[in-house]
Structure 1
Amino acid sequence: MRALIIRHDHPSEAGFVGERLVRRGFELVEMLIVSEAEYDRPGVTVEFPDPRDFDVIVPLGAPWSVYDDLTIGTWVGDEIVLLREALAADVPVLGICFGAQAMATALGGSVERADRPEIGWTGVRSDDPGLISEGPWFQWHFDRMVLPPEAKEIARSDVGPQAYVVGRSLGVQFHPEVTPEIVRAWLDNGGVPQALEYGYDPEELGRPRAGAREQSYALVDNFLDRIAGL
């Protein structure tokens, strides 16, 4: 089985989610949208593959907003088309943060600026803790999703939706993939001043959290077994 990992920027990797997919027998095919050399000029042109060539698609997070096409150019629209085609073809998607927002947009929902950011380890309220535990989960976002009617919201915070299911796909606002190395990479690529601006301690954000790997593995297993049927 093949999983397409859509990496929007070079510091963002599949982390614990990728580890678990490999252990479940998936070959990871990574697609990097914005390279390190283009990080400050993310309006690149890319060609997305046919989603039907994959058994699972995992679009990861990004430092940009889905609606900020003036900055990131046409690729976000092309990715939304890919996700819409994947959903129409019944290809399971595990959308993470930006990826979940893009999937919601592909289904007719939208993304808007949140009242406040969520950064760091944050608990969520879950209707199905056996599928989505109440965390805490790592978060780093400034936007919130407005879910389309066909999506079933299954977890939330005071800021907005945190997880939803549509068909064989799952979108989560938080970051189950994060490892300490990924968080440090985010901090090294503009995250430190951002965290400080909103009153968060960069050193605290970068510390490992006990049980994070096991929590992520459980989410991936739940997605594959209960939602995607794989």
Structure 2
Amino acid sequence: MSSSTAQAISLSCVHDRLLTLSLPTQAGKATRRRRSLTRVARQVLFIRNDPTAPQALIGDVFAESGFDIGTFDVLPVGTDDPVRTVAFPDPGRYDAIVALGARWAAYDDTLPWVGAEMDMLRRALDGGAAVFGVCFGGQLLARALGGTVARSTEPEIGWHDVQTDEAGLVPPGPWFQWHFDRFTAPPGARVVARNASAAQAFVHGRALGVQFHPEVDERLVEQWIADGAGEMAALGVDADGMRARTAQLAGDAAARLRHLVRGFLALGQCVPHGGEYGVQRPR
């Protein structure tokens, strides 16, 4: 993260403020004591479940919000075979975990790491972290908490309207979609957004799962168009039409993404409080 990015913090989820003010000496001569300001940045880990599904704009928003960014690749770059054993990092080192999308099925337990990742997400929540699941990541999160994932009768590719019960958490409007499966929210969760095709977002304590892809920008959509021509043809989705809609909607979606991340951070109590400094989440 560049120094200019680090200074442009919109949500300073940091703690341990130490500020020493300048005081006059007894002789009346003012001496300037250095102001010491110690900030300990929050840590977020992005789990990249598929090399074709990076954090993209979500990573930018977390960086703007004062987080140090960590990433973990389930598949090494250049590898396309998901059948492998994966040792996930210790979630206790992080304040937030974001599980990203993938081409695989979240109910495919022949992939050895699917169960391991769900276990990691549960341990993260048990340890006090906030967990955000995006599309495949949201489906894994739903399963980890007792929900289900199944093939959708109404797959979605492209920009689709989403209705919300909590606009301060999940803003309404067209969100980008690319999924053939859908989740059922886990017991005790509340579904906070939906459309006619699927539940689109659920909340369970400090966990937020979404079915759509809030992270996309025009470059990522273009990559997915190139990689997914067969899937688009099967659903009758026109590439040029998708490009035009993306050019029209991407700016507004990026603004709504910032509200979405703020809502997620509020779930984990990593929100502004009393001005510039945030509250520490329970350990």
**The two structures share one fold, judged by TM-score above 0.5:** yes
Normalising by the residue count of structure 1, what TM-score does the alignment of the two structures yield? 0.93
CA contact (8 A) 2:201 2:209 kept: yes
Cα deviations across residues 162-221 of structure 1 (Å, max 9, x unaligned)? 1111111211111111111111222233x1111111100123324432312111111111
Q: Which of 153, 164, 169 is matched with 2:202 structurally?
A: 164
Q: Secondary structure at the match of 2:187?
A: coil
1:207-226 → structure 2 map (5 Å cutoff)? 207-208=246-247, 209=249, 210-224=251-265, 226=266
CA contact (8 A) 1:16 1:217 kept: no
Q: Which of 104, 108, 113 is matched with 2:151 structurally?
A: 113
The one-letter code of the counterpart of 2:103 is: P
Q: Report which stretch shifted further, 203-212 or 19-28.
A: 203-212
Which residue of the partner structure matches residue 48 of structure 2? 7
Q: Which of 125, 132, 141 is matched with 1:94 structurally?
A: 132
Number of residue pairs aligned between Structure 1 and Structure 2: 225
Which residue of the partner structure matches residue 194 of structure 1? 231
Q: Secondary structure at the match of 2:130?
A: coil
Cα deviations across residues 136-169 of structure 1 (Å, max 9, x unaligned)? 1001001111111111111111122111111112
Q: Which has the higher helix share?
A: 1
Q: Secondary structure at the match of 2:89?
A: coil
Which residue of the partner structure matches residue 78 of structure 1? 116
Q: Which of 18, 21, 32 is matched with 2:73 structurally?
A: 32
Which residue of the partner structure matches residue 178 of structure 1? 216
Q: Which of 47, 66, 70 is matched with 2:87 structurally?
A: 47
The one-letter code of the counterpart of 1:196 is: A
Q: Secondary structure at the match of 2:49?
A: strand
The one-letter code of the counterpart of 1:30 is: T
CA RMSD of aligned residues (A): 1.3
Distance in 1 between residues matched to 2:141 and 2:76, nearest whole Å: 22
Distance in 1 between residues matched to 2:180 and 2:218, nearest whole Å: 21
Where do 4+ consecutive residues of structure 1 move more than 4 Å?
Answer: none
Cα deviations across residues 33-66 of structure 1 (Å, max 9, x unaligned)? 1234321x21122210111110100001111111
The one-letter code of the counterpart of 1:9 is: D
The one-letter code of the counterpart of 1:194 is: E
The one-letter code of the counterpart of 2:91 is: P
The one-letter code of the counterpart of 2:119 is: V
Distance in 2 between residues matched to 1:201 and 1:141, nearest whole Å: 16
CA contact (8 A) 2:44 2:97 kept: yes
Normalising by the residue count of structure 2, what TM-score does the alignment of the two structures yield? 0.76
Question: Does the alignment pair 1:132 with 2:173?
Answer: no
The one-letter code of the counterpart of 2:264 is: F
Q: Percent same amino acid at aligned positions?
A: 41
Distance in 2 between residues matched to 1:90 and 1:204, nearest whole Å: 43
Which residue of the partner structure matches residue 203 of structure 1? 240
Q: Secondary structure at the match of 1:100?
A: helix
Question: Does the alignment pair 1:66 with 2:106?
Answer: yes
Distance in 2 between residues matched to 1:119 and 1:144, nearest whole Å: 13
Gaps of 5+ in 1: none
